[in-house]
Amino acid sequence: MSAEATASQSGSTAGSPPGSLRILVYSDDRTTRDKVKFGIGKRPERDLPPVEFVECATQYAVLKELDAGGIDVVILDGEAVPAGGMGIARQLKDEIFNCPPILVLTGRVQDAWLATWSRAEAAVPYPIDPVALCRATVALARQRLAATSGR
């Protein structure tokens, strides 16, 4: 796999065990991606399948992974450069049919309105609170799994 996207490939599209919850984490900062993965953990709730993270460091990698399908939740760093997560979120909502729910990491609590503009379903401000991040991610995962199980 390229340096742009490192992944624990999983789910139905990547040949790993079925029943995994695939979470895409985008940030140009590896430390931020690690904090997100640590905050959510491998299995945040008993009723959810084990988590498989797909890490992306560029906008191109995010688009490539979402085009391939199989992503259940998207977490985007609103402070990433050169492409911020809020702009990417809006692009994904415009371009991806049945786009997975998106959580945006905002620079501060007051930036939550920007996450609304981006059409993200949730926002968590910096510094990342692992409990708030996990709760928001679990809610989005349950929403996505309920929507996809009804098909």
How far is C-alpha 1 from the geometric centre of its chain's CA atoms?
Answer: 19
Range of the domain at 96: 5-146
Residue 23 belongs to a domain? yes
In the chain, the number of structural domains is 1
**151: confidence class by pLDDT, cuts 50, 70, 90:** low
DSSP symbols for 88-128:
HHHHHHHHSTTPPPEEEEESSGGGHHHHHHTT-SEEEESSP
pLDDT at 18: 56
Question: How far out from the chain centre does Cα 15 lie?
Answer: 20
Domain membership flag for residue 134: yes
Domain membership of residue 151 (yes or no) is: no
pLDDT digits (tens, 9 = 90+) for 62-100: 999 999 999 999 999 999 999 999 999 999 999 999 999
- Does residue 6 have a pLDDT over 50? no
Strand duo 122-125 + 73-77: pairing? unpaired
Total Cβ atoms within 10 A of residue 128:
16
Q: Is residue 115 part of a domain?
A: yes
Provide the pLDDT confidence category of residue 147 given band limits of 50, 70 and 90: confident
Burial of 120 (0-12, 13-18, 19+ CB in 10 A): buried
In a domain, 56, yes or no: yes
Average pLDDT, the chain: 87
Cα distance between residue 71 and residue 53, in whole Å:
9
Tens digit of pLDDT for each residue in 13-59?
333 345 899 999 999 999 999 999 999 999 999 999 999 999 999 99
Q: Residue 84 falls within a domain, yes or no?
A: yes
Percent of the chain's residues with pLDDT above 70? 87
Tell me the CATH number at 63.
Answer: 3.40.50.2300
Query: pLDDT tier at 109 (50, 70, 90 boundaries)?
Result: confident
CA distance 100 to 96: 9
